[in-house]
Structure 1
Amino acid sequence: MEHKKTYYQKELTTPVGHLLIEGPVHAEQLAQYEFHNDLVAFRPASTQHQALIEIALLPEGRIIIARSGQTIIGYVTFLYPDPLERWSEGNIDHLIELGAIEIIPLFRGAGVGKNLLIVSMMDDAMEDYIIITTEYYWHWDLKRTGLNVWEYRKIMEKMMNTVGLEWYATDDPEICSHPANCLMVRIGNRIPPESVQKFDQIRFMNRFMY
């Protein structure tokens, strides 16, 4: 199930500069913008730039960006879960994953992440999705921030809560491998009960395997 992607934008003034938050952006737009060299949380910046362009080409792919002039300094991605992960099982038509959110260090703490999520949720079509995000502590920038896993998780969870993503229990082995890891979920207000039931079943796939 794909929706027409309705474009939204919001201006944000921060202590270190003025930003435009916009999206979902087309692949052609992404290709034209510069991609900041500090966006290296997941892979080298040039490789990640190309990955975002490829996500934007997917029917369900949604990329929201924060840019300073023509330079992308932050982004959030939405796409269907990886086919190798349990979240792609269960034939849930309405499930999409918040796959990544990243902001360069210069703009952290200025509300950029929260506003990326706010712009993401401006589209009424998001009420037709179960949105999940799987948070793993090994993706967190603990070294640069100086925070421990629990401090970082508290900040991350508070940011996700601003747009209705809430902590959900699961027996997924990778999430259960460390107590700071977590599954966060937002269930759109037009999701049918049978889809919620299917989702609950894949959250707890191992409940009878003793």
Structure 2
Amino acid sequence: MQHIKTYNQCIKHIKERTIIIEGPIEAKDLSTYRMESSLTAFRQPAEQLEALIDIAGLEEGRIIIARTDDLIIGYVTFLYPDPLERWSYKNLDYLLELGAIEVAYHFRGYQIGKELLNVSMSDGYMENYIIITTEYYWHWDLKNSGLDVFEYKNLMQRLMQSARFEVFQTNDPEITSHPANSLMARIGMQITRHQMQQFDEIRFMNRFFL
């Protein structure tokens, strides 16, 4: 499958700063930026920037960022699922995973997450994919948000629904291990019935045959 990527951009003005939301960003451009210090949900900022650069270098990888000047204050990633997870079973070339979405603490509440998703889906080629996101409560910033796990779950689901993601059932043991976890997916307009059947088989496959 050929992975066609079309650059898109939008501009917001927050706290007297100009915020540029853009992508997909190439690895060489990402290497000229730096990460805001509170972007620590998955790794330390410098390590996460290296991870973003690596993903941007993948054939299927897509990185959308929000930045002010050369400072990244938010990002969302898209890539093939981890080879060790069930979602990579059958190596479906039309199945991408929204691997991470994060916004710096001091820039939350300004719909930057929603804009990151809007810019991501402005590329019409995204309609050729099923895009999944696995929402695990242990990745959420419960401490700074002041929300409990179910309030945060509702927050994340509303955010994803703004980009046409829906909740899907699965027997994946990590998802079913806690009621706050969930699987969501965005079904591209060009996805066929056969492709959906393959996705359904993965959602409910017997874990002992992974």
TM-score (normalizing by structure 1): 0.96
Equivalent position SS for 2:59:
coil
Is the 1:63–1:77 contact (alpha carbons within 8 Å) kept by the matching residues of 2? yes
The answer to whether the 8 A contact 1:63-1:78 is kept is yes
1:141 and 2:173 are equivalent in the alignment: no
Report the equivalent of 1:115.
Answer: 115
Residue 207 of structure 1 and its aligned partner are, at CA, apart by 9.3
Q: Secondary structure at the match of 1:185?
A: strand
**Kindly tell me: are residues 66 and 208 of structure 1, through their superposed partners in 2, closer, same or farther at Cα, counting changes over 3 Å?**
closer
Q: Secondary structure at the match of 1:13?
A: strand
Correspondence for 1:53: 53
Structure 2 match to 1:94 = 94
Asked if 2 retains the 8 angstrom alpha-carbon contact of 1:76 and 1:117, the reply is yes
CA distance in 2, matches of 1:40, 1:16: 25
Q: Distance in 1 between matches of 2:190 and 2:206?
A: 28
Q: How much does 1:12 deviate? A: 1.4
**Structure 1 residues 207 and 72: CA distance shift in structure 2, 3 A:** closer
Matches within 5 A, 1:75-86: 75-86=75-86
Shift, 1:14, TM fit: 2.6
For the residues of structure 1 that align with 2:88 and 2:155, how far apart are their CA atoms? 28
Alignment match, 1:20: 20
The TM-score with structure 2 as length reference comes to 0.96
| 2:205 partner amino acid | M
Q: Flag structure 1 segments of 5+ consecutive residues without an equivalent.
A: none
CA offsets, 1:160-181, max 9 Å, x none? 0011001000000000000000
1:179 aligns with 2:179: yes
Letter in 2 for 1:179: P
Which segment is superposed worse, 61-70 or 16-25? 16-25
Query: Match of 2:165?
Result: 165
Contact 2:172 2:207 in 1 (8 A): no
Contact 2:41 2:139 survives alignment (8 Å): yes
- Shift of the 192–11 alpha-carbon distance from structure 1 to 2, 3 Å rule, reads same
> Displacement of 1:97 after TM fit?
0.3
Which residue does the alignment assign to 2:154? Answer: 154
Report how many aligned residue pairs link the two structures: 209
